Amino acid sequence: MNKITGLINQIAGLKRAAKVLACAILITACPLALVFGAGTGGQPGQFLSWGAGARSLGMGKAFFAVSDDASATYWNPAGLTQLDRKEVMALHVNLFADTSYDFLSYVHPTPKLGVFGVNLTRLYSGGFEKIAITFDQNKEDIIDIQTLGYFDDVQMALTGAYGKKIKENVSVGVSGKYITHTLDYSTNGFVTFDTDILIQGFNHRFQELNLGFGIQNLLSAKFGDTDDKLPLIFRFGASHTFLRKKLLVAFDIDKNLKANMGWHIGAEYWVVNFACLRLGFEGEQGIRETSAGFGVKYKDYGLDYAFALHDLGLSHRISGSWRFGPSVSQDRETLVRRYIQEGMEAYNKGNFLLAFSRLEAALDIDPGSQDVKRMFGKIQIVTGYLPAAPGESEEAVSIRKGVAGFVEGDDKAAINAFRYAYYKNPGNMKLLALLNKIEKDLGITVTDAQKEDVVGFTIIDQKIYDARQSIIEGKYDQALIKAQEILNLEPANITALEIMGSAFFMMDQTDKARAVWMKVMELDPTNKVVAEFLNQLK
């Protein structure tokens, strides 16, 4: 930039012919300044504010909180999480003679790691004539003008982008840019990083409202022969759908710390399910550009056209997109199911830390799943007290039953199993702490560390008493429930089986009574009372 400024100052001091030449160069360069630098004060890297994709350009570049196609690598990488399949987008625009703008983007979703993307943005202006001027000895008159060749002005940015969901409706994105500017033999550039966030469905009342926030050029470094610095830019966007998602309205604000604040507003309306119309405006204190366009889609292909009216007249933009490959949602669902299954197998075997790891992996892939979130929260509580419960002792088996019931939402079964395990080993204070935590959360009576151990009346004894009392009161269905609760804790409890058989018998369900009493005889062949009952059923 210093070399160019010095060259212009030298030309400005020449005689009339040289002044005419300088004016011609400035006239050629003015359209670029007007189109790409309006209201920016000539900031470096301003070719990146031109936009990407005819769809967003037709909406006045109000696309920051939309970003649901391959141009998200340019607008807001957090929006990449909305893409379920691979996608390519390409844009080519002829601005005026020997000047063009190109954008190419590719997005690659993955089932587990998030969504990756890359794009190439390029502004090319060529055909500038390089000349040599010869003056007389007094440096007043031009003796000769020779053409030495031609040179180009090329600005280009290669961007790598990444987006990932961190919550059900919150995604974050980051991008890194490698920017170069080549003018004849001089090359300079920057390396810079951006960060963005997208909130989808602001709350339950505004489920169709999206909000986006971003900071561009948060970290940057320069190279080459330039003293320029990339400005810090803040962006905010909001979008909302109406009419059953047929109408999309979006509004963006961007603030370059070294320039005026810009605004953008746009709308997209799908007339039919394969064709839509668009309208947009952008400006600062007033309207700088008005745009409109349309889009059509067929299966996996999309074609968008936009035209814009600005100070230089009318310009046309066209882009195409292609989505291909399988949906990663199915792969995500498969992975989530696999991790959940592995987690369930782990806690059923008593490895609660491994279960925590598997459910955490499932939640990382699908942070919006309420079932996974609930299970993960439960196993997280368990591992805070008990990392494992291996072995085949009654205590360990009951702990595993309690954890399974707790994680899977059967709180009653969990409490019963944990209490039984504690009564089997009253010295297990970690188990008691976990049991008390769950009891407090459920708002039920907390198990005392001393009381029930002193009286010697265990939870099994209490349930047997309640079951027998239900039989006496004629509440046979309640007796069955209490007997089953005992069997869940002690599958071979003969007394519970006797009570269950009696309840079935009293309810005239003799086949079920016989089956239960046969089970008693298998466990205790010397049981004369049950043997007599079976004889009566013959």
Q: Could you read off the pLDDT of 42-58 as tens digits, one per residue?
A: 567 778 888 888 999 99
Q: Are 72 and 36 in contact (CB under 8 A)?
A: no
Q: Is residue 291 a contact partner of residue 309, using CB atoms and an 8 Å limit?
A: yes
List, for residues 81-134, the tens digit of each pLDDT value: 999 999 999 998 887 777 889 999 999 999 888 999 999 999 998 877 777 787
Same domain for 41 and 72, yes or no, is yes
Out of 136-140, 166-170, 425-429, pick the least confident: 136-140
269 shares a domain with 218: yes
In-domain check, residue 135: no
Q: Could you give the residue ranges of the DSSP H alpha helices within 426-475?
A: 429-442, 451-455, 459-472
Beta strand segments in 225-300, E: 233-242, 247-256, 261-272, 275-283, 287-298
* b/e sequence 179-189, b meaning 16+ C-beta within 10 Å: bbbbbeeeebb
Residue 527 has pLDDT above 90, yes or no: no
Q: What is the pLDDT of residue 74?
A: 96
- Rounded Cα distance between 261 and 286, Å, is 11
Q: Does position 414 have pLDDT exceeding 70, yes or no?
A: yes
Q: What pLDDT was estimated at residue 41?
A: 47
CA distance 16 to 5: 19
Q: Average pLDDT, stretch 183-208?
A: 85
- φ, ψ dihedrals at 259, nearest 5°: -155, 180
Pick from 138-142, 155-159, 406-410: least confident: 138-142
Q: Tell me: the pLDDT tens digits for 379-394? A: 999 988 888 898 888 8
pLDDT of residue 457: 60
Query: Can you give the residue range of the structural domain that contains 505?
Result: 457-538
pLDDT for 42 = 59
pLDDT of residue 198: 96
Mean pLDDT for all residues in the chain = 84
> For residue 227, what pLDDT is reported?
78
**Res 531: pLDDT:** 82
Residue percentage of the chain with pLDDT more than 90: 42
Rounded CA separation 162/83 (Å): 12
Do residues 276 and 264 share a domain? yes
How far is 414 from 401, CA to CA, in rounded Å?
A: 7
Rounded to the nearest angstrom, the gap between the alpha carbon of residue 393 and the centroid of all alpha carbons in its chain is 44
The DSSP bridge partners found for residue 79 are none
Examine the domain organization and report whether 265 and 345 are in the same domain: no
Q: How far is CA 200 from CA 2, 373, 415, 534, in A?
A: 46, 19, 39, 66
Cβ-proximal residues to 109 (8 Å cutoff; 6+ apart), any chain: 80, 83, 84, 85, 86, 115, 116, 328
Residue 274: pLDDT band by 50, 70, 90 thresholds? very high
Q: Is residue 269 located within the same domain as residue 379?
A: no
Report yes or no on 514 lying in a domain: yes
Q: What mean pLDDT comes out for the span 195-221?
A: 88
Instruction: Report residue 459's pLDDT band, with 50, 70 and 90 as the boundaries.
Output: confident
Q: Cβ atoms within 10 A of the Cβ of 114, count?
A: 21
Binning pLDDT at 50, 70 and 90, where does residue 185 land?
Answer: confident
pTM for the structure as a whole? 0.69
Over the stretch 279-328, which tens digit does the pLDDT of each residue have? 999 998 888 899 999 999 999 999 999 998 877 678 889 999 999 998 89
CA distance 251 to 294: 19
Question: Which token pair is 204?
Answer: 């339950």
110 residue type, one letter: T
Residue 48 lies in a domain: yes
Q: Which of 417, 437, 455 is the last residue of a domain?
A: 455
Regarding whether 298 and 235 lie in a shared domain, the answer is: yes
Residue 13: give its domain's CATH number: 2.40.160.60
Residue 130 in domain? no
d(CA 167, CA 366): 8
Q: Are residue 333 and residue 312 in the same domain, yes or no?
A: no
Sequence-ordered alpha helix ranges (H) in 349-458: 352-365, 370-383, 394-407, 411-424, 429-442, 451-455
Residue 149 resides in a domain: no
Does the residue 379 lie in any domain?
yes
Instruction: Check whether residue 117 and residue 247 sit in a common domain.
Output: yes
- Note the pLDDT of residue 47: 81
Q: Note the pLDDT of residue 103.
A: 95
Kindly give the residue spans of alpha helices, DSSP state H, lying in 207-283. none
Residue 350 in tokens: 């008593």
Structure tokens at 238: 């909001």
Last residue of a domain, one of 326, 348, 364: 326
| Model confidence at 18: pLDDT above 80 | no
Note whether 315 and 342 are same-domain residues: no
Q: How far is Cα 113 from Cα 98, in angstroms, rounded to an integer?
A: 42
Domain count, the chain: 3
- 516's CB contacts (< 8 A; 6+ apart) are 497, 500, 501, 504
Q: 294, 311, 326 — which closes off a domain?
A: 326
Question: Is the predicted pLDDT of residue 29 greater than 90, yes or no?
Answer: no
**Least confident piece of the model among 324-333, 359-368, 398-407, 468-477:** 468-477
pLDDT of 346 reads 92
Q: Specify the range with the lowest mean pLDDT, choosing from 32-36, 437-441, 455-459.
A: 32-36
- Residue 145 placed within a domain: no
Looking up residue 463, the CATH number of its domain turns out to be 1.25.40.10
- 451 & 470 share domain: no
Give the strand pairing for 275-283 and 186-200. Answer: unpaired
Half-sphere exposure in the Cβ direction for 218 (13 Å, CA): 12
152 token code pair: 């180009």
Rounded to an integer, the average pLDDT of 345-360 is 90
User: Residue 191: its pLDDT value, please?
Assistant: 94
506 inside domain? yes
Residue 38 has pLDDT above 50, yes or no: no
pLDDT band at 474 (very low <50, low <70, confident <90, very high): confident
pLDDT score recorded for residue 204: 65
- Residue 20's φ and ψ, nearest 5 degrees, are -60, -40
Of 176, 177, 122, which is closest to residue 152 (Cα–Cα)? 122
Radius of gyration of the chain (CA): 37
401 plus 438 within the same structural domain: yes
Asked if residue 305 and residue 180 are part of one domain, the reply reads: yes
